[in-house]
Amino acid sequence: MVLDRQGYDDLIMYLTQNLALFEKSGEIKPGAPTIMELIEDDIAENVMLLCQQHTELSTEQRSQIVREVDGIVYDLQEVLSSVTSNQVTIEQHAFIDEFAALVKNLFDSAVVESA
């Protein structure tokens, strides 16, 4: 659905261009989640929103989305493996929020194109 598209390649390039955010320290709010917890939560929220907005999705399409999202989270885990258990900084939090929204946008576009 999206993993084999140019948009996903662009998204991974965007991540690599911003890896420096994960290599430096920054301000951490009290009780901040780990980087991996935030990635999982943000992406899950966006997938749920996607499914709520596209009620016409079949069970097969929803399953495909979940499989691909699992692949995306795995890719993020691989790229960020050395820092995933660190608490997220304010800057990292903003980037992860934006990244998760971009993932949703990729799926939104793919759903609209397949309709």
Residue 56 in domain: yes
- pLDDT single digits (tens) 5-51: 999 999 999 999 999 999 999 999 999 999 999 999 999 999 999 99
Q: Judge whether 8 lies within some domain.
A: yes
Span 91-114, pLDDT tens digits: 999 999 999 999 999 999 999 998
In a domain, 28, yes or no: no
The whole-number average pLDDT for the span 63-76 is 95
Tally of domains in the chain = 1
52/46 Cα distance (integer angstroms): 10
Q: Which domain holds residue 75?
A: 2-23+33-114
Of 96, 76, 79, which Cα lies nearest the Cα of 87?
Answer: 96
Q: What is the Cα Rg of the chain in Å? A: 15
